């Protein structure tokens, strides 16, 4: 079942926004990035040491807005596929989340997010 995260226009282009899924003890933390009117989704967990990537709310991009950055040790990831291109874990990837855009809304699949919770 598709679930609406937010309106596309609520995220600047380029820009990013974080979300939480599930209300148990360990909810899923994830974020979406909007760039060139495409939207990409990732679990907010760095493949280097498992930390959350951001220190400031909704802030996942470099100053140039060209890459995703982990604030812990500076790993940088491509926006299009979450692969690390510099820093301590080259070639490792962020866990991706399928995003759809329909009628100006950003959608995720509840089933996919539920599976990531376990
Ligand atoms: S935890 Fe992300 S670069 Fe180390």
- Note the pLDDT of residue 23: 87
CA distance 63 to 103: 30
CA distance 94 to 103: 27
**Protein residue closest via CA to atom 3 of ligand 1:** 73
**Structure-block tokens of residue 76:** 């940088």
- Note the pLDDT of residue 24: 86
Question: Average pLDDT for consecutive 10-residue bins of the chain (118 residues)?
Answer: 96 98 93 96 98 98 98 98 98 98 97 92
According to CATH, what is the number of the domain 2-117?
2.102.10.10
Strands 84-86 and 96-97: unpaired
**What residue spans of the chain are helical by DSSP H?**
110-117
Mutate to test the pocket of ligand 1, among 70, 76, 85, 90 (most ligand atoms within 8 A of CB): 70
CA distance 80 to 4: 21
- Note the pLDDT of residue 110: 96
In the reported structure, the alpha carbon of residue 37 is separated from the centroid of ligand 1 by a whole-number distance in angstroms of 28
């Amino acid at each position: 079942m598709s679930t609406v995260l937010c309106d596309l226009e609520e995220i600047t282009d380029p820009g990013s926004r974080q979300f939480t899924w599930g209300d148990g003890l360990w909810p899923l933390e994830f974020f979406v990035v909007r760039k060139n009117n495409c939207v990409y989704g990732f679990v907010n967990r760095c493949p280097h040491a498992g930390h959350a990537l951001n220190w400031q709310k909704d802030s996942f991009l470099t100053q140039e807005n060209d890459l995703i950055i982990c604030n812990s040790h500076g790993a940088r990831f491509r926006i299009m596929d979450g692969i690390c291109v510099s820093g301590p874990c080259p070639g490792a990837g962020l866990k991706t989340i399928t995003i759809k855009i329909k009628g100006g809304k950003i959608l995720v699949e509840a089933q996919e997010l539920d599976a990531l919770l376990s």
